[in-house]
Amino acid sequence: MMKTLILIIIAIFLVSCVSKKSVINEKKIRIDPSHNPNANSQTIVVWFEDQYLKNGDSFLKKAEEFNGRARGELRKEVMSTLKSISNTSFNKIKNKLSSLQNSDQITDIKQHWIINGFSCTVTGEGFKTIETLEGVAKIFIKQSPSISRGTAMGPEFLETIPASRFDIKGVESYPWNIEKIRAPEVWNEFGITGKGTLNVVHDSGFKLDIPPLAETIYTNDGEIPGNGLDDDGNGYIDDYHGYNFDQGSSNLNEPTIRRATNIHGNLCAAIIAGTFATNTKQAIGIAPDSKWVPVIGASNIEEAVEWAIEQGADTYSMSFSHPNLGELRTHWRKVLEHGTLCGVVFISGAGNFAFGAKAAPIPVQMRNPEDIPNAVLGVAGVGEDGERPAFSSQGPVEWNTDHYKDGQVDKPDFATLNYKVPCVDPEGNLSNSASGNSLSGPHMAGIVSLMLSAKHDLLPWEIKEILLNSAEDIGDKGYDYQSGHGFVNAYDAVKAVMGL
């Protein structure tokens, strides 16, 4: 035990020594300390100097500048600016990249607009050349965070989208979590059920053909499914019900990826946008008239977020978390900050690392992306009795990367539900329950979907402000590191949106 502890301490010490040695070459290019100069092949993300948001304060300043704007209109404007910044920088080195590609130093070049830069896979020689290219400012090593829980199999296109069985008057029952989050009161009193909102479930483990999910799945109307063509010309073939950015395919079907008998992505989707459990009139989702869309992309957050924005996403739920991302945290944060300015509400559960075999110390109990300030709602949770389960990760977190130097940041932001939550089984019934902050994020996404359904042009930071004012203080008095600003319920949040 002691030996292990000493080894861990040494390991942490080593890691911290290495990470402090940020490399600065003559051109003042910042290179991720996890770069291995001897590696034959590395996948990297390259930033150009000119980023839309600059340092740590820029996000809040920009948000303030945009106050009062309508979300839909702002999205178009910010997207257009981001794309124009990206094209200007990329076009300057485009020819150079092509010749590097021809000499096999670089493969898989993907230009990004959500940050001004590109991803590619490079040889050692290629890496050195990229450092010298015009405008290149930072190079991050793209670790492949191991959140992909399996390999998606063949595509699953639903031949017809079944008509929704959900109707407010026909609801016969609902599980305790739907009641505790006060969704039925929103449906009944305001007639708001999530209509007109699109909720991304960035996860793995999907089985799309169960009734409560098939009835509300998104379809990209510009795309014809299963014909092997990119009909809408967005660069993705058959991205009809969603897309798998890790495989570069429309394979979304991963029914074997299970936690016990639960399919992970399905659990999350059903809490947000499930209709009635199969063959019943039991309402199981918070926003049963919203749409949801599955996305897989453990190591391709840029493309996934760009795609989601183009499809008109309103919420983006990420029930995963990455430890030890190092400098790559900076990249994730910038992607999600820019994405938030495009009007998407990003949400991630707090993680389950406060207790047990995978326990981690504060300030790394909450990890990426739920540790991102302002642009991501980090959501912890409680059980039916209102008590926080021992596993639920706590804040604060620490930001001291090369780019973001906030120091200590208050997290989590809010609490919903995370303990013994009734969950959809592989047939679409609520025969199971599950625990974990994988479930707290989707509860928040469902609530935000209702809020945006009530007032579609609310900005993400206005949503957060309303949640701050309508959350119920729980745990220690005032803000606390277990439940954030408190327990959020759909009724008080939507009421506040409507000015009631």
Q: Kindly provide the residue ranges of all beta strands, DSSP E only, lying in 253-369, ordered along the sequence.
A: 258-259, 262-263, 291-296, 315-318, 345-349
189 Cα distance to chain centroid: 31
Q: Which of 206, 236, 243, 461 binds Ca ion (CB under 5 A)?
A: 236
415 in Cβ contact with 379 (< 8 Å): yes
DSSP at 361: -
Q: How far is the CB of 226 from Ca ion (least distance, A)?
A: 7
Percent of residues in the chain assigned helix, strand, coil, to nearest 5: 30, 20, 50
How many residues sit close enough to Ca ion to count as binding (CB under 5 A)?
14
410 lies in the binding site for Ca ion (CB under 5 A): no
Which of 303, 370, 480, 492 is close enough to bind Ca ion by CB under 5 A? Answer: 480
- Least separation, in Å, of the C-beta of 225 and Ca ion? 6
In angstroms, what is the minimal distance from the CB of 236 to Ca ion?
4
Q: Are 172 and 436 in contact (CB under 8 A)?
A: no
Tell me which amino acid residue 93 is: I
> Would you say 34 or 247 has its CB closer to Ca ion?
247
Q: Which of 32, 203, 215, 238 binds Ca ion (CB under 5 A)?
A: 238
Listing DSSP states for 390-450 in one string gives TTS----EEE-SSS---EEE----EEEE-SSEEE--TTS---EEE-STTTHHHHHHHHHHH
Q: Shortest approach of Ca ion to residue 377 CB, angstroms? A: 16
Stretch that binds Ca ion, among 141-149, 233-241, 326-334, 455-463 (CB under 5 A): 233-241
Q: Which is nearer to Ca ion, 29 or 415 (CB)?
A: 415
Residues 440-479 close enough to bind Ca ion by CB under 5 A: 473, 475
Nearer to Ca ion, 228 or 356 (CB): 228
Nearer residue to Ca ion within complex by CB, 135 or 386: 386
Which residues within the stretch 212-231 sit at the binding site for Ca ion (CB under 5 A)? 223-224, 227, 229-231
Give the shortest CB-240-to-Ca ion separation in angstroms.
7
Question: Shortest distance, CB of residue 231 to Ca ion, whole angstroms?
Answer: 4
For Ca ion, which residue of 77, 179, 232, 410 counts as binding (CB under 5 A)?
Answer: 232
| Residues 329, 364: Cα–Cα separation, whole Å | 12
Shortest Å, Cβ 483 to Ca ion: 6
The tokens describing 353, both together, are 């690392």
Instruction: List, in sequence order, every beta strand (DSSP E) within 15-128.
Output: 23-24, 30-31, 42-48, 106-112, 117-122
- Contact residues toward Ca ion (CB under 5 A) are 223-224, 227, 229-232, 234, 236, 238-239, 473, 475, 480
